[in-house]
Amino acid sequence: MSAVEVSHLSFSYDGQNDVIKDVSFAIPKGSYTTIVGHNGSGKSTIAKLLIGLLKAKSGEIKILGNILNEENIYSLRNHVGIVFQNPDNQFIGSTVADDIAFGLENHCVPQEQMQEIIEDVAARVNMSDFLDSEPTKLSGGQKQRVAIAGILAIAPDIIIFDESTSMLDPQGKASINEQIQKLHDERNITILSITHDMEEVAQSEYVIVLKDGKVEMQGTPKQIFEYKDKLKEMKLELPFALSFSEKLKNEGVFKDSYCTLDEVVNELCQLKSTN
């Protein structure tokens, strides 16, 4: 069963111009999928449609096999969590612990269990020492980790990250990306990440490329990166590891291309030891 299945989805903000045009895709359960596309390609609109913040004009969305409609939207939200670009927009509690508790209260989790869950999820995102801190006093990366903890507490099956790292410094970004990867590996959560970071795309299992509200390509990172010129045309760039290994290929050093820095380094080390 797919975690998310979207078929012939269309949406328009003004009732005239469709910003999402007949989009179809399926995300396998437990997969790590990235959605990329230029600014204005419809990425965030799709995220909002998936969690029912916006209502589709036509087409259907299936979450874990159930067609999303007005009756089941609230119960399906137990299964889908979202982390937005700017964590400041979603803080409610006056302390980190209160903020994480907010979602649990909404889901009528008994008080006794709450404390345990809060401590557990805070530990997972390395924020145990900050449970009594005021969210507004935290750094950008810390805030984003609290937002993730708040989602984890609900233990959804699917988490959507909507450019959750674009405002962070490189270190904060690396730490969040590590969290995302860990969630996926350890808890088999389906991850859907909307991003501009091509390094993150290279790490994911499946990529959906949007252009002007339509799905332009979908496939594994390796398959997608084959279409270099097309990506360039769509204002997307190749990850550094790939463009550099292309150059090594031209120089006759590599036979193949690689998407991640790890692979490039490993391959070069092997070539060196056989030298």
Partner 1 sequence: MSIKIHQLEHVYNQNTPFSHAALKGIDLEIPEGKVTAIIGQTGSGKSTLVQHLNGLLIPTAGTLDICGYHIQPLLKIKDVKQLRKEVGLVFQFPEYQLFEETIEKDIAFGPKNFGVEEGEASQLVRDILPVVGLDESYLDRSPFELSGGQKRRVAIAGILVLDPKVLVLDEPTAGLDPQGAKEMMTLFMRLNREQNKTVLLVTHDMEHVMNYCDHVIVLDHGVVKQKSDVKTFFEHPEWIVNIGINPPSIIRLKMRLKEAGFDIPDEIIDEEGLLKCIKRQVKIHE
Q: Distance between CA 9 and CA 192 in Å, rounded?
A: 17
By CB under 8 A, tell whether 84 contacts partner 1.
Answer: no
147 sits in which H/E element: helix 140-154
Give me the residues paired with residue 27 across strands: 4
Stretch that binds partner 1, among 22-30, 59-67, 202-210, 237-245 (CB under 8 A): 237-245
By CB under 8 A, tell whether 38 contacts partner 1.
Answer: yes
By CB under 8 A, tell whether 106 contacts partner 1.
Answer: no
How far apart are CB 92 and partner 1 at their closest, in Å? 21
Binding residue for partner 1, selected from 61, 248, 257, 259, defined by CB under 8 A: 248
By CB under 8 A, tell whether 15 contacts partner 1.
Answer: no
**b/e code 136-165 from CB counts within 10 Å (16+ = b):** eebebbbbbbbbbbbbbbbebbbbbbbbbb
Binding residue for partner 1, selected from 169, 178, 185, 226, defined by CB under 8 A: 169
Size of the site for partner 1 (CB under 8 A): 43
CB burial class (10 A; 0-12, 13-18, 19+) of residue 30?
middle
Q: Which phi and psi angles does 206 have, rounded to 5°? A: -145, 145
Q: Distance between CA 11 and CA 224 in Å, rounded?
A: 26
Site residues for partner 1 per CB under 8 A: 37-40, 85, 139-141, 163, 166-174, 196, 198-199, 235-237, 240-241, 244, 247-248, 251-255, 261, 264-265, 268-269, 271-272, 274-275
